[in-house]
């Protein structure tokens, strides 16, 4: 999952917009952006993070710029207890645009923050980001698996399904969620999985504002299901 290899895979898969969402961390994002900018200006890398709430619900936070993501990162780190055990979980490497090791993250990124689900969503929105409930069809670490339902008062911008379920199948399985926008993502933890799940959106530009319009099916922007 080196930044250079990722960008080459994005190009190979003809992806236009990619959100980089590491677990509770963001340090690798700018290096992927630098390589994408240098190699192919048609690819937009959106800074993101997959935040784990105290309920162990995974929420995708997606932003237009790294500064806004950095503000969320500080809150996440302030509420993320524990240190990484390299013998159990491996090295958490930060790799630069030259594919060189820049450093190591010693925080317990696999763990859950002490932030509630609602507070994570509120923080994402306060910094101008999109909050997407991650892989709702999975039997672990999703809002449905952890809570048993999706509280309509939690203002998710969209719900994500994994690469193993297409959007039409998700609509049939979750008719009670018809009011929500659905997206499919690869949730790639290995390079071979990049692009295995994707969402086609009709946008005027690559930005969270445009994606939000597609989520809301407004002004001619929409998701193709």
Under a CB-based contact definition with an 8 Å cutoff, are residues 160 and 135 in contact? yes
pLDDT of residue 39: 87
pLDDT band at 115 (very low <50, low <70, confident <90, very high): very high
pLDDT of residue 1: 84
Distance, in Å, from the CA atom of 57 to the CA atom of 46, rounded to the nearest integer, reads: 22
Does the pTM of the predicted model rise above 0.85?
A: yes
Segment 140-179, tens digit of pLDDT: 999 999 999 999 999 999 999 999 999 999 999 999 999 9
Structure tokens that stand for 8 in this block:
């080459």
Task: Count how many domains the chain has.
Answer: 1
CATH at residue 51? 3.20.20.140
- Three-class DSSP category at 27: coil
Question: Which range of residues forms the domain containing residue 68?
Answer: 3-224
């Amino acid at each position: 999952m080196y930044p250079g290899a990722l960008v080459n895979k994005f190009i190979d898969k003809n992806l236009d917009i990619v959100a980089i969402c590491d677990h509770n961390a963001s340090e690798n994002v700018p290096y992927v952006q630098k390589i994408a900018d240098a190699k192919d200006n048609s690819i937009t890398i959106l800074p993101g993070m997959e935040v784990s709430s105290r309920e162990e619900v995974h929420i995708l936070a997606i932003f237009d710029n790294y500064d806004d993501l950095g503000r969320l990162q500080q809150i996440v780190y302030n509420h993320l207890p524990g240190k990484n055990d390299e013998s159990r979980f491996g090295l958490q490497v930060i790799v630069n645009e030259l594919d060189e090791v820049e450093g190591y993250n010693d925080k317990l990124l696999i763990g859950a923050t002490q932030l509630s689900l609602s507070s994570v969503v509120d923080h994402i929105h306060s910094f101008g980001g999109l909050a997407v409930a991650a892989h709702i069809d999975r039997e672990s670490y999703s809002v449905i698996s952890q809570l048993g339902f999706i509280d309509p008062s939690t203002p998710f911008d969209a719900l994500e399904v994994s690469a193993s379920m297409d959007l039409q199948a998700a609509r049939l399985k979750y008719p009670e969620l018809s009011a929500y926008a659905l997206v499919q993502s690869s949730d790639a933890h290995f390079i071979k999985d990049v692009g295995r799940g994707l969402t086609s959106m009709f946008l005027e530009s690559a930005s969270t504002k445009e994606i939000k319009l597609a989520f809301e099916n407004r002004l001619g922007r929409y998701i193709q299901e």
